[in-house]
Structure 1
Amino acid sequence: MWKILKVLGGLVIVLSLAACGVEDSAADPEAKPYVFIEGENVYAATNSILGVGKDDSNLKLITKYAGANNQAELQTMLAEGKAVLVDEGMPITLIQLGGTSTKIKLTETGDVGWVPSEVVSKN
């Protein structure tokens, strides 16, 4: 239960920053942004929860339940296989890039689904 609370806190922060359009002000203004390529192997930048499925409907439910701090529904989604925990640094493959959500495959388990786009990292 503690791990889910920790992950949910990170998920809410990631989603809140994405909604506000917050950018990293410490980034080098001269640096060119990294361009991700579909099919590329990358990593999870932070702990998150994967919404399993062909579309992002389970991720939308995760976001709704996390925002309402509804642990019971999140536990149910995990138990039913509609959600999977993603650990920081976990290797992933990009399947479909999106503005706010990205479809990925977890390299270790083969689970496919959607995470907030900010979860994807080149390192």
Structure 2
Amino acid sequence: MGEVLEALFSERWPYLLTVVMLLIGLYGMLMKRNLVKKLIGMNIFQCAIILFFIVHAYKYNASVPVYSEVLGEHPELYMNPIPHGLMLTAIVVSVATTGVALALLTLIYRRFGTVDEVELLQKLREE
């Protein structure tokens, strides 16, 4: 049993880190009342997804996708650049989403004086 756990943690630690980050982000989004904390949870969740794709696309001892005379035409010896490029796009979308969310939270705080979800819903019902 100890050998199985040791192999699990030594070989698959990036996946375990991703799962832990996913759970932390999901907890932050679902369980926190403060909207800023929910936004932080969403960012952690997005980072975990990006990390998962980057880790999954990694190849051990692979070369950059530029043709080499030494490696020849063996595609298994080259790394696939598409997931990395897609994750760069995901990072840009994440930053843009965060910026818009912070702008909306600023407007919510200026109008209602709170970013607490329960208080905000209560003030909306009163209006």
Which entry has the higher C-alpha Rg, 1 or 2? Answer: 2
TM-score range, shorter chain: under 0.3
Q: TM-score, normalised by structure 2?
A: 0.26
Structure showing the higher helix proportion among its residues: 2
Which one scores higher on RCO, CA 8 angstroms, separation ≥ 6?
Answer: 1
Structure showing the higher strand proportion among its residues: 1
